[in-house]
Chain A
Amino acid sequence: MSLVNFTTREITCKIVYYGPGRSGKTTNLQYVYSQVPSDRKGQMVSLATQTDRTLFFDFLPLDLGTISGFTTKFQLYTVPGQVYYNATRKLVLQGADGVVFVADSQMRQLDENLESLQNLHANILEHGVDIRTLPLVLQFNKQDLPPELILTPPELDEALNFRGLPTFAADALHGPGVFETLKGIAADVLRKLSEGGGGVRRL
Chain B
Amino acid sequence: MSATSVVEGWTEGPLVRYVGQASARLVAVMTPAGQVLAQHGFARAMDLMAAAALGAAIMASSGALAQQLGEQSFGALFHAGQHHGIHLAQCSTPRGPLIVLTVFGRETSIGLVELFYEEFAAALRKAAPVSQVREPVLAKDFEADLNRSLTSLFRR
| Same assembly | yes
| Alpha-carbon separation in the docked complex, A56 to B134 (Å) | 31
Minimum CB–CB distance from A197 to chain B (whole Å) comes to: 6
Residues of A within 8 A of B54 (CB): 45, 59
Chain B residues 120 to 144 lying within 8 A of chain A, measured CB to CB, are: 133-143
Residues of B within 8 A of A36 (CB): 153-154
Query: A35–B49 contact, CB under 8 A?
Result: no
Residues of A within 8 A of B37 (CB): 3
**Which A residue's beta carbon lies closest to that of B33?**
A95
| Alpha-carbon separation in the docked complex, A120 to B110 (Å) | 40
Known interface pairs A8-B5, A14-B35; A65-B138 also in contact (CB < 8 Å): no
Asked if A67 lies at the interface with its beta carbon under 8 angstroms from chain B, I say yes
Known interface pairs A36-B154, A91-B60, A183-B150; A195-B136 also in contact (CB < 8 Å): yes
A-B contacts counted at CB < 8 A amount to 149
Residues of A within 8 A of B33 (CB): 1, 14, 94-96
**B149: contacting residue among A5, A41, A66, A197, CB under 8 A:** A66
Minimum CB–CB distance from A139 to chain B (whole Å) comes to: 16
| Alpha-carbon separation in the docked complex, A193 to B54 (Å) | 26
| Alpha-carbon separation in the docked complex, A139 to B19 (Å) | 45
Residues of A within 8 A of B6 (CB): 7
**A56: contacting residue among B31, B47, B61, B152, CB under 8 A:** B61
What sequence of 0s and 1s flags, for each residue 48-70 of chain A, a beta carbon within 8 Å of any chain B beta carbon? Answer: 00000000110101111111111
| Alpha-carbon separation in the docked complex, A196 to B152 (Å) | 27
Q: What size tier do the contact residues of chain A reach?
A: 35 or more
Minimum CB–CB distance from A11 to chain B (whole Å) comes to: 7
Query: B142–A194 contact, CB under 8 A?
Result: yes
Q: Mostly helix, strand, loop or mixed at chain A's interface? A: mixed
**Which A residue's beta carbon lies closest to that of B134?**
A198
Asked if B79 lies at the interface with its beta carbon under 8 angstroms from chain A, I say no
Query: A187–B143 contact, CB under 8 A?
Result: yes
**B146: contacting residue among A75, A179, A183, A195, CB under 8 A:** A183
**A64: contacting residue among B9, B49, B146, CB under 8 A:** B146
Residues of A within 8 A of B143 (CB): 187, 190
Residues of A within 8 A of B149 (CB): 64-67, 72
Residues of B within 8 A of A45 (CB): 50, 53-54
Binding site for B on A (CB under 8 A): 1-5, 7-8, 10-12, 14, 35-37, 40-43, 45, 47, 56-57, 59, 61-70, 72-73, 75, 77, 87-88, 91-92, 94-96, 179, 182-183, 186-187, 190-191, 193-198
* Leading 8 A-B pairs by shortest Cβ distance: A95-B33, A42-B46, A198-B134, A65-B149, A196-B136, A61-B49, A194-B138, A91-B60
The contact sample of 21 A-B pairs, CB cut-off 8 A, is: A1-B35, A3-B7, A3-B37, A37-B155, A42-B46, A42-B50, A43-B46, A45-B54, A56-B61, A57-B53, A59-B53, A63-B45, A65-B153, A75-B35, A75-B53, A91-B61, A179-B154, A183-B146, A186-B150, A190-B138, A198-B137
